[in-house]
Amino acid sequence: MRQQVGIAVVLGALLVAPPVWATSYTIDQDHSAVTFKIRHLFSYVRGTFNDFDGTFEYVPGAPDQWKAQAVIRAASIDTRVEKRDTHLRSKDFFDVERHPALTFTSTGVSDATQTSAKLQGLLTIHGVEKPIVLDLAVHGEGKDPWGNQRSGFTATTTINRKEFGLTWNEAVETGQWLVGDEVEITLEIEGMAK
């Protein structure tokens, strides 16, 4: 009889145990980076977006609770060549006056392990919204030396810029195009708990 009571108590405790809630993080811009790489003729150009913010929710082992959203200011594009950056901000590319922001909102998570996952979401560039998948390397969570709860991940994906209306190009005398279509994107994100 005592054993049955003990089992009932344990089961009752499990049934009424509070759920594990995801921690909400704000992206720490000082320890994060939004970078990209695209082909230019026979090499690649790398660049960054220097002005961005966002939030994400994360709890280890509960990918159904993971969420993320971010805003990137298009005018903050930086390829270390001012003339090129001015062109990228123009109507030929991002048209930052009409489309000042790139946005991402997650819609789901799949293939999650302790160290990796696929994060589905909607990416908007140049006013065009498309579904994408980010490959996540999950770096975990913990406290920094000042007691702040932090978490971070690396996210990568490749998109075709033409699908987002960024179609400008020029042919060169060899018959090749000046700018490639595929853009490799890497996000190094560290967040601090709100």
Is residue 32 included in any domain, yes or no?
yes
> What is the token pair recorded at 96?
């930052």
pLDDT at site 18: 45
Instruction: Give the mean pLDDT of the chain.
Output: 91
pLDDT of residue 4: 55
* Percent of the chain residues past pLDDT 70, beyond the cut: 90
Residue 15 domain flag: no
Tokens standing for residue 20: 């594990």
Per-residue pLDDT, 3 = 52
For 128-165, write each residue's pLDDT tens digit.
999 999 999 999 999 999 999 999 999 999 999 999 99
Rounded mean pLDDT, 102-106: 98
Picking from 84, 6, 12, 71, the residue whose alpha carbon sits closest to that of residue 45 is 84
Domain with 151, as residue range(s), is 20-193
In a domain, 8, yes or no: no
* pTM value surpassing 0.85: yes
Residue 183 falls within a domain, yes or no?
A: yes
Residue 2 forms part of a structural domain: no
In angstroms, the Cα distances linking 138 to 29, 54, 86, 87 are: 18, 17, 35, 35
Domain membership of residue 76 (yes or no) is yes
Query: C-alpha distances in angstroms, 45 versus 109, 139, 184?
Result: 31, 28, 11
Q: Is the pLDDT of residue 13 over 60?
A: no
Tokens of 108: 């789901």
Of residues 29 and 9, the one with the higher pLDDT is 29
What is the rounded CA–CA span in Å between residue 116 and residue 110? 10
Query: What mean pLDDT is predicted for residues 100-117?
Result: 97
Q: Could you read off the pLDDT of 23-40 as tens digits, one per residue?
A: 999 999 999 999 999 999
Domain count along the chain = 1
CATH number of the domain to which 71 belongs: 2.40.128.110
In a domain, 11, yes or no: no
For residue 29, tell me if it sits in a domain: yes
Phi, psi of 185 (to 5 degrees): -115, 135
Asked whether residue 169 carries a pLDDT value surpassing 70, the answer given is yes
Q: Encoding tokens for residue 3?
A: 């054993």
Nearest to 51 by CA among 69, 67, 70: 70
Angstrom CA distances, 41 to 60, 85, 178, stand at 43, 17, 5
Residue 106 has pLDDT above 90, yes or no: yes
